[in-house]
Amino acid sequence: MRLSWLVLLVGALLMAGCGAAEGASAPALAATATVDDVTDPTQGATPIAVATATAAPPPPRATAAPTPTVDDVTDPTQGATPDAAGAGNGALLISMHKTGGIAGVDEYFAVYAGGALELRGKDGVVTRAQAATADLQALQQLLASPDVAALAGRYPDTTADAFNYELELGTAEGKARKIIFSDTSAHPPALDQLLAELVRLRDTAK
């Protein structure tokens, strides 16, 4: 009887110990994670766009302007007629256009109130000079004389190879007065006096 009771006690203790062991192992097994349960932190991560800085292109190099050559420089007096070029030298006193002769002369000479003299030859070259005030006195006196005021506008001539003259006299009203004659035409002495003064001044411009 005593042996049976002892066997039962030992069996109960063994069963109680196995139950406790099974209860303790269950949480341990539940806490054990498998390889499939571990989440890879890199899986499913959204890639972050990284802005790439692009270097700005270098600014264009400044190009120096070409230095003008002598041929590039335009002379403002080239191609200018004596009338246009002398506009800044005062009002026109008188001009003379001489043509004709055996050699076919074609010459233009102008005198301005400021003393500027301009001569254009047959080749188109314009020569300029400056006359002194005293050199203009005789011409100015002639232009203001009654003899010149009484001159007609034309003195015709039919002589072949004569030198023909066309004078243009400036007036106070700004209107040009023209007188046409030749060296062989019949004309008053006042025209010869004007012609002599013009030739004298023309020679100073050559």
Mean pLDDT, consecutive 10-residue stretches, the chain (206 aa), reads 54 56 42 43 46 55 50 39 52 96 94 96 94 94 96 92 95 84 96 96 89
pLDDT for 30: 39
pLDDT for 174: 72
pLDDT for 62: 56
pLDDT for 205: 84
Among 53, 56, 204, smallest CA distance to 136 is for: 204
Structure letter (DSSP) for residue 185 = S
Q: What are the strands of the beta sheet with 177-182, ordered from one edge?
A: 126-130, 116-120, 105-112, 92-100, 163-169, 177-182
The CATH architecture assigned to 81-205 reads 2-Layer Sandwich (3.30)
Element counts in the chain: helices (H) and strands (E): 5, 6
Cα→Cα distances 200→133, 135, 178, 193, Å:
14, 10, 21, 11
Q: Are 128 and 115 in contact (CB under 8 A)?
A: no
Query: Which residues lie across from 106 on neighbouring strands?
Result: 99
Angle at CA of residue 109, ends 139 and 195, nearest 5°: 45
Q: For residue 180, what are its two tokens?
A: 């046409």
Angle at CA of residue 12, ends 7 and 17, nearest 5°: 130
Q: For residue 51, what are its two tokens?
A: 């802005």
- Tokens 């002598």 belong to residue: 70
- From the number of C-beta atoms within 10 Å of its C-beta (0-12, 13-18, 19+), residue 135 rates as middle
pTM of the model: 0.58
